[in-house]
Amino acid sequence: MRVSALPATVAVAALTLTGCVANAPVNDSSGPQTIAVTSTDDACTVSSNTVTAGTITFHISNEGPQTTEFYLLSSDGVRIVAEKENIAPGATVDLAVALQPGDYGTACKPGMRGGSVGEAAFTVTGEAADSSGANAALLAQAVEDYLGFVKKEVAALQPKVTRFANAYAAGDDQTARKLFASTRVHYERIEPIAESLGILDPRIDYREIDYRAEAKALAQDDPTFTEWLGFHRIEKDLWTPSKSARQPDGSPAWKGWSPSTSAQRKQLAATLIADVNTLNDTVTADDFSTSHGLDISTVSNGAAGLLEEIAVGKVTGEEDWWSHTDLYDFQANLDGARVAFELVAPIAERSGETGTELVASITTEFDALQALLDQFGSLQHGFVSYDTVTEQQRRALVEQIDATREPLSKLTNAVLGLN
């Protein structure tokens, strides 16, 4: 879900990988290349630290006892270039990406919380890939359209955050509570992009237990980031838990926490507004796509990533633990996933009958998942509180999310012509 920064000694160019076989052979660089990754409790073993620019498939096996995540990071060790979440013990999954030359990093996060393990440098050599061929225009247009979607959502987020934060700062909790879920929708729709922006996502959207697990690393990345911030800090103030309440991890809700003072509220509100303004400046910069490596695999993997967000942290109720507004997040993630999917679907269909059948299957499963969510409300009219959703209903959601994720996990391969 989220990853601590790599140490500076690892984040810079080609170093010897810890716990891996350096320079092990990979597929011929004239075609798709495959890198084997093995995750355990204390290692993230990568079969080679160097590949040639082009289409790369990370073949990730979880040989540890905990569910894990795999990250491909930018050279600063903070920004996520690509990720694969929720890899169960004993499972093997693929992550396909189109990579340009440069310095990257790899890491795993067993348990999916706290620090990462096996941080190492990863280098992509060769010449920059030049998009050409019959699909070139479609590829470029899909990326441009997705960036337009991201900009539109952030533009909608800004004024809503200002209104929400100002109500909270003024002590108008009734208004702030009404605005909380509908404001966050615009952020949740673009979560894969938000998570790729380094320290901004932790500042804007970290839950308390995630912040505490990574506080030291976050402060190293950003010396001003020395306390829990963002939406979920405000959420806890607005839905103050009882003294006997527990966190998702079972720890006491009031341990190390107390309701924010009036002065703290004003500072937290101003910080959230400023961070969202920075988010807008970042995604609207002329060089955003190139500086952050936004490409067709970003769009395609983003669709699957948003369903992972639901499966990992939202079905459990952990995301909005105090407000129980999780169904708004479900819908927003589903919206964002469907936008990304529909942008790349025409490219997948051009790969032939297999691609056409895959698109049809994903569409069917998306429709079924939307029908399940519709039982609980809508963004227009509101959703029921998630604590009223029964265990049986939650299991039905999980089953349909999994049914949608299965074909969606094959989408990037179809788009990149790997099927």
Average pLDDT estimate for 226-243? 98
Task: Please state whether beta strands 102-108 and 68-74 pair in parallel, antiparallel, or not at all (unpaired).
Answer: antiparallel
Q: How far apart are CA 388 and CA 318, in angstroms?
A: 15
Q: How far apart are CA 173 and CA 364, in angstroms?
A: 41
Closest listed residue to residue 236, CA positions, set 218, 256, 219 = 256
Give the DSSP H/E element, type plus range, for residue 217: helix 208-221
Query: Which phi and psi (to 5°) does residue 192 adopt?
Result: -60, -40
When the pLDDT of each residue in the chain is averaged and rounded to a whole number, the result is: 87
353-378 pLDDT, tens per residue? Answer: 999 999 999 999 999 999 999 999 99
Question: How many other C-beta atoms can be found within 10 angstroms of the C-beta atom of residue 314?
Answer: 23
pLDDT above 60: residue 134:
no
CA dihedral 153, 176, 275, 309 (to 10 degrees): -60
Of 299 and 419, the structure prediction assigns the larger pLDDT to 299
Least confident of 24-28, 286-290, 384-388: 24-28
Which domains does the chain possess? 8-125 (2.60.40.420), 131-419 (1.20.1420.20)
Q: Taking a C-beta distance cutoff of 8 angstroms, is the pair 185, 328 a contact?
A: yes
Q: Which two tokens stand for residue 301?
A: 């993997």
280-330 pLDDT, tens per residue? Answer: 999 999 989 888 878 888 888 888 888 888 887 788 899 999 999 999 999
Closest listed residue to residue 103, CA positions, set 196, 14, 174, 205 = 14
Evaluated on CA atoms 142, 148, 150, 153, the torsion sign reads negative
pTM exceeds 0.75, yes or no: yes
Of 37 and 74, the structure prediction assigns the larger pLDDT to 37
Farthest-apart Cα atoms in the chain, separation: 63
